[in-house]
Structure 1
């Protein structure tokens, strides 16, 4: 059980085709952890080694767990690998349910949960169920493109990152320390 509780816990969504969804979630998590609260960030379908992983690792009160790490896009996986991903996501769902019920963290970030839904790896009802189990004093942040309307309607904050211009269009790929 937590020693320190948030007064009111709300639901945030960072969505859209623009850059910055995970970065915004980590920023909020950093603020919360810095305030002495416990933060859990669960990343789905991400396998790249990025700079924020090292920052989070060195931060007290901020825990990162990765499920179904990928270095390729889900639709391009073999059927066997897709099945393995689905099993890992089901395991994550079970773990998250326990974490929420045990009230182990003040904030839970579900990074790229929208990609899990978009790729039909998990039904939206499972995410809705998780959000409904959220205690009143727990903050939750969901990230990823294509946020479903049902989740948008449940959220208290919804921010859409919109790409207007991106260096990728000029052939400039992810740079170490900036985009990765």
Structure 2
């Protein structure tokens, strides 16, 4: 496969584990079928397994990050939030260029809903990315709390719903499993 005939908009959301994992799985599948995949990660700065597998796959799966390490949004001071806003604006401009230039077959905006929830970008900005998506590009968005306008524009919405989680027993993020 060289190009998608038709690309759709997918959303992975919900309070359960697996949103980024599902997107990475889709990326690996697409790259394995000779499609070019870009993943733009928001609000993530720590090393993760997907960064390493993307390096092994090569230019068929590339991950981009524009943020410097700062910690969780709710712990940032005003100055750090201003810096983060500038970094996310740069990432947004990159996303708009990728879409404008049809630079990849599958484009993942990982944790874009977290950016919306924190008021760093607007719903209209993300809606514009969807509206400008080339016909043959698959666009995948992840994160909790999808605004209705974004949900309405999607072709597929999958909700990861927590039924039970070992985190509630004091088991937190584990290398190779959660990151």
TM-score range relative to shorter protein: over 0.9
Match of 1:51 in 2: 49
- The Cα shift of 1:67 comes to 2.5
Does the 8 Å contact 2:9/2:140 carry over to 1? yes
Q: Tell me the distance in 1 between the aligned counterparts of 2:44 and 2:84.
A: 11
Q: Tell me the distance in 2 between the aligned counterparts of 1:36 and 1:106.
A: 10
Q: Deviating runs (4+, > 4 A) in structure 1?
A: none
Task: Please tell me whether residue 28 in structure 1 is matched to residue 26 in structure 2.
Answer: yes
Q: Helix, strand or coil for the counterpart of 1:65?
A: strand
Q: Which of the residues 3, 6, 10 maps onto 2:4?
A: 6
Q: Tell me the distance in 1 between the aligned counterparts of 2:63 and 2:126.
A: 19
Does the 8 Å contact 2:28/2:61 carry over to 1? yes
Match of 1:105 in 2: 104
Which string of whole-angstrom CA distances, capped at 9 and with x for unpartnered residues, describes residues 112-141 of structure 1? Answer: 000000000011111001111101100000
Match of 2:120 in 1: 121
CA RMSD of aligned residues (A): 1.3
Aligned length, in residue pairs = 178
Which string of whole-angstrom CA distances, capped at 9 and with x for unpartnered residues, describes residues 120-169 of structure 1? Answer: 00111110011111011000000001111111110001000001111110
Alignment of 1:1-180 (within 5 A): 4-60=2-58, 61-70=60-69, 72-180=71-179
Which string of whole-angstrom CA distances, capped at 9 and with x for unpartnered residues, describes residues 84-110 of structure 1? Answer: 111011111111111111111001000
- The Cα shift of 1:70 comes to 4.2
Greater Cα shift, 67-76 or 36-45: 67-76
Does the 8 Å contact 1:20/1:161 carry over to 2? yes
Does the 8 Å contact 1:43/1:112 carry over to 2? yes
- The Cα shift of 1:69 comes to 4.4
TM normalised by structure 1 equals 0.95
- The Cα shift of 1:62 comes to 0.3
